[in-house]
Chain A
Amino acid sequence: MSLPYGSSNDDTFIETWKSAAGPFAWLRAVNNSPIGKRFLVTGFAFFLIGGIQALFMRLQLAKPENNLMSPELYNQLMSMHGSTMLFLFVVPILEGLATLLAPSMLGTRDLPFPRLTAFAYWAYLFGGVLMYSSFLLGVAPNGGWFAYVPLTGPEFSPGINMDFWLLGLELAEASGIISAFELIIAVLAMRAPGMTLGRIPVFLWAMLVASSMILFAFMTVLIASLYLELDRKLGTAFFSPELGGSTLLWQHLFWFFGHPEVYIQFLPAAGIVSMIIPVFCRQPLVSYTAVVLALVSTGVMSFGLWAHHMFTTGMPDITASFFSTMSIVVAIPTGLQFFVWIATIWRGKVIWKTPMLFVMGFMVNFLIGGLTGVMLGVAPFDWQVHDSYFVVAHFHYVLIGGVVFPLIAGFYYWMPKITGKLMGERLGRWNFWLMFVGFNVAFFPMHLAGFRGMPRRVYTYIEGIGLANYNLISTLGAFIFATGILVFVLNFLASLRQPNTDPNPWGAYSLEWATSSPPPPYAFLTLPIVKGRYPLWEQEQLDKGDEETVDMVKTLASWPLSWQAGVVTDVFTGRLREVFWLANPSYMPITLATGLAISLGAMIFDSYWLSALGLVIALIAYLVWMNPRQRPTENDKTIEEKFKRFGVAVYRYSSPTIARWSLFLTMGIALTTLGTFLFTYFFLSTNTPVWPPESAKLGGWTAAVLAQLFTVSGLVIVAWTQRYSMAGGRTKLIRHFAIASVLDFVAGGLQIWAYSQLSFSWTSHAYGSIFYLLAAFQLFMLITALVMASIALFRLNFNHDPAEQERVQVTVENARRSNYVMLACWLAIFFTLYLSPHLM
């Protein structure tokens, strides 16, 4: 075989899958492989920038009472170092790695939404650039990466520093959510035939868990930063204690995001380790199931320990005990993974290559970080070392030891799948030892500095209190570590001159090693047929299997050639279910991201007209995006018939299954938002002696109750449509949706009228702030449901193309489901705003 497995020599096919051509092609490139690489490069660039900031801070701290920089500059660097590393480096680069590798690891061709992949990248890039543009004006964010209120509120941070942070963050986090969204669907629904749930590579299990966590966790931080931005721009009172707000609300929301965030970063890293160890020990993981269960349970538990960041805020002992226990218990699954790795190594024959070295560095450093983590979970001990350099040491052991080391291991390991080249082993060893030694020299003394009373985030410390030597050693170590990173960069650049390597230079087992190095943009022409967890070790040939599947993958290798076809497989069994059209290159993702960036950027300067213009650009881009002009034309009746016989549907548009998944996840996001708002409402209510405040009179009861009746009857009518099939009941469907839409519309009007009767504003009290926000969300959900119903009505009326009826069917289903979720929000909000004050 002259071509590596999976490669094509058909010109049309290659042309179809090539990134767009032309001078501005890179602006409209979609698909996972070019975008994934951009994620990696951008993420790494942010890593270097954040690292240089850290080096400057280390120089300032090298000496007591040093005068290298002003406290203001130090605080800016400190804030941006944290924000860069946590928001702009780790999560994006891990998502980028998964974006690039997931399709080839899953033995398929691309992620479900190639244009969304591109949008996620541009949103991330623009979010980061927006945040960093503050440096040009000398007003970089200075409130810390955790941005505690009230320090970051309008009173104590009147400058625009934190606006850059908040708005840049919103864009970057939105990108994180979108990438997560795609990865979840890809792992669940787009795999090679035969890849059952139990055969998914561990790294992707980890990404699946981490991505699901991102959906919940990132939403809370987005909402928290929305509150803060509203406080800053519109004068709401979410965080003003004198107006019924709460400063602790920020901390709860932030850490409800911030703690899972740590695991969002760690779990994929652990996944990388679980991928690499078997390869370099030539042994399967001792227990795949245990590792997967550990990942899932860590993910679930990580949502129950956020308050261990708040032990010193003075919480009741019973609460502290609960969070202490959770923080200690969460170490069990991680311990389990550790022993799985050790047992695997025990069995196997170790091959000492650079990736393995880094994994060993990870094991040592992360062990230390994990142990100090358990210590910090013990509340009384935390009272001493909280917010001291002990904590700084701890989380760098966890985040550098636990995430950066595996990440670098992953780069060495997967570089053939990124650039096609192997990186040098000799420089690799230098790289490892410099980083390992430098890391420990830099961060170990910080434990001791913490014991010596050095608080976090100080720009200097006085002489004669015994901190000078620890800090000097840390600074030296930081520079040794930085040299290690530099060697990595050099090694990478040197590797680019090497010829491309074999498909599988490490003798690895997972599917990405079956295709060439680097993989072609489509990853696999002939989709591999998977029969085990370690396909390349277990299977002589990847295109052998039961007759039907072989027939299908062979057919897919020759048809369609002129449009990008993706496949949907069954969540559990990995059987082929659908073939669908992915997307064409498009300028819309970058336009949409630009529109949003303009809109958010203009807000910083209170230029609301420009901001609105940005939104208009974004909206237009979105509409064009949703209605692509070029649809695939190439079709082949016989082939489609054949697929149909095998139970596989062919769609020359988006996949109904994926559309259902998308709606499911979107509604999950909507409900998370609702949950966060309601949490805010009840948290604030318990925090204030009189709730609602005397001044706030609820009005418009009749209209509000009527509005509920209208929406409920609208829902009944929509629910009724479940009885009608597309074929027979089309007119009834149309009638029902039309009536329901009218009812919802009236309900909206009534509700708006009810709200207009209120005597209080959103600035007078935190009650008003959350009240109007809930009201706005209620109406937003109504509009969403109306839009969904309108799309369904439109398609029911005008789309009679028999090939697209499945699509119309899905639109109807999604309209129905979004109506359910909308109604849940309405009733929950009505209950909260109108009824709950009388029950408390």
Chain B
Amino acid sequence: MATIMMRVRQIAGIALYLGLANAQEASWRSPVNVLSRKGLVADQISTIWWFLFSTASLVFLVVITLLLIALFKKGQAVPKGPVQENSSVRPILYLGTGLTIIVLLITAVYTFISMRTLAAPSQKPALTFEIVGKQWWWDVRYEGESISANELHIPSGEPVHFSLHSDNVIHSFWLPDLAGKRDLIPGHPNSLWLQADEPGTYRGSCAEFCGVQHGKMNFTVIAEPRAAFETWLEHARAEANAAVSEEARVGQAIFMQQGCAGCHSIRGTAAQGEIGPELTHLSSRLTLAAANIPNTTGHLAAWIVDSQSIKPGNRMPSQKLSGEDLQFLLSYLMELN
């Protein structure tokens, strides 16, 4: 019963529920909001929304008021005999339709104007990232090379350009806090620009149904000041650290023998697989499994040995490893920072 009461309280609190981040959780897990005005594009779209919302509310109120008056005012039944369409209420018709046309035309014109301003950023983006949609993760590329997966950093306060591709099915790249979405379509390259006004961590997801794990295809974008971003980019483009500890060296050998390298690449090593996400700086990332679980040893271990329970149907087979080998492998992967 207490549970039920708790839920009731929770539900009753929804009106006040602003979706603030749970302080204990990493911010990649925090709520997003289309209306949050955290990015230039999202900000303008949010203005469009408030225009649409106020217009629609007005229309709604007018129509419902008219309807209520019509329903509860005293009317009369048509007398027997030839039925004449009554012209005395025609003004409602003319007025209503006229207003509809005016409101809709204003909306249309407003749409043109807003599309024009959103077409391109005022300042040409200095940076282009290439995003390739995979089943069911995101390959992040820079100048033709995969530098990360499911996570990327961008400089805040300036527009960034994305070129969007897919070599499999259709996906859609959506960062609600920052901009509208754009599809990744095989054979139809697309592009998108956005700008994060403030540094922060932003959650995004795939918005086009792309198969069994469409539901768990998220990503994280971290906006940070230009200097920090450049450090990140340089690091991301660098080759992997050599394994330091004894355990890690054994782990690396297991990585190469176990077949991991068949799908994953680690730049600077023999691992050059192109099927799964690249892992060069794996342990510097916030999340695993396309921004679905935090990147901690426990999650990583579980993901390696039983990825199919965490994300049923995903392309990574659950690995058969001895407990010991698993520890070595973990040591290696945790050193890839």
Contacts and interface: CB of A to CB of B under 8 A. Distances in A.
Direct contact of A and B (CB under 8 A): yes
B63 A342 contact: yes
For the complex of A and B, list the 7 residue pairs with the smallest distance between their C-beta atoms, beginning with the closest. Answer: A241-B187, A383-B180, A339-B96, A466-B19, A466-B31, A335-B100, A282-B77
A148 B60 contact: no
A452 B81 contact: no
A458 interface: yes
Contacts of A363: 67
Nearest to A242: B187
B108 A285 contact: no
Interface string A426-453: 0000000000000000000000001111
A156 B21 CA distance: 37
A150 B77 contact: no
A556 interface: no
Majority secondary structure of chain B interface residues (helix, strand, loop or mixed): mixed
Interface stretch (A166-174, A178-186, A366-374): A366-374
A465 interface: yes
B71 A345 contact: yes
B275 interface: no
A720 interface: no
B168 to A, nearest CB: 7
B191 interface: yes
B111 interface: yes
A336 B17 contact: no
Contacts of A342: 63, 66-67, 70, 92, 96
A807 interface: no
A149 B200 CA distance: 36
Given A380-B111, A381-B49, A460-B216, A451 B35 contact: yes
A324 interface: yes
Contact of B29 (A372, A374, A464): A464
Given A156-B168, A287-B85, A380-B111, A451 B186 contact: no
Contacts of B203: 453, 465
Interface in A463-518: 463-467, 469-470, 472-473, 509
A831 interface: no
A282 B86 CA distance: 12
B11 A469 contact: yes
Interface stretch (A207-215, A529-537, A561-569, A571-579): A529-537
Interface string B143-155: 0000000000000
A216 interface: no
B324 interface: no
Interface string B64-86: 10110111111111101111111
B186 A150 contact: yes
Interface residues of B, number: 104
Interface string A615-629: 000000000000000
A453 B33 contact: yes
Q: Which residue, of A321, A372, A380, A388, has the highest number of chain B Cβ atoms within 10 A?
A: A380
Interface in B110-157: 110-112, 114-116, 118-119, 135
A267 B63 CA distance: 20
B10 interface: yes
A146 B210 CA distance: 12
A71 B169 contact: no
B64 A367 contact: yes
Nearest to A294: B97
Interface in A57-75: 70-72, 74-75
Given A283-B86, A328-B108, A332-B104, A384 B45 contact: yes
A72 B212 contact: yes
B214 interface: yes
A452 B187 CA distance: 31
Nearest to B85: A284
A339 B34 contact: no
A231 to B, nearest CB: 14
Size category, A interface? 35 or more
Contacts of B21: 464
Contacts of A461: 215
Q: Which residue, of A242, A290, A384, has the highest number of chain B Cβ atoms within 10 A?
A: A384
A427 to B, nearest CB: 23
Majority secondary structure of chain A interface residues (helix, strand, loop or mixed): helix
Contacts of A331: 100, 104
A744 to B, nearest CB: 40
Contacts of B181: 312, 383-384, 386-387
Given A282-B77, A364-B64, A380-B45, A371 B96 contact: no
Interface in A311-348: 312-314, 317, 320-321, 324-325, 328-329, 331-332, 335-336, 338-340, 342-348
B86 to A, nearest CB: 5
A360 B259 CA distance: 64
B208 interface: yes
A314 B33 CA distance: 23
Nearest to A148: B170
B186 A320 contact: no
Given A379-B111, A537-B78, 7 more contacts: A246-B188, A248-B188, A283-B75, A287-B90, A349-B77, A350-B72, A367-B60
Contact of B215 (A71, A312, A470): A71
Contact of B172 (A72, A312, A465): A312
A378 B52 contact: yes
A349 B73 CA distance: 8
Contacts of B7: 472
A580 to B, nearest CB: 33
A384 B95 CA distance: 33
Contacts of A534: 83
A548 interface: no
A464 B7 CA distance: 16
B211 interface: yes
B44 A314 contact: no
A321 B113 CA distance: 10
B332 interface: no
B6 interface: no
A343 B172 CA distance: 45
A613 interface: no
B67 A469 contact: no
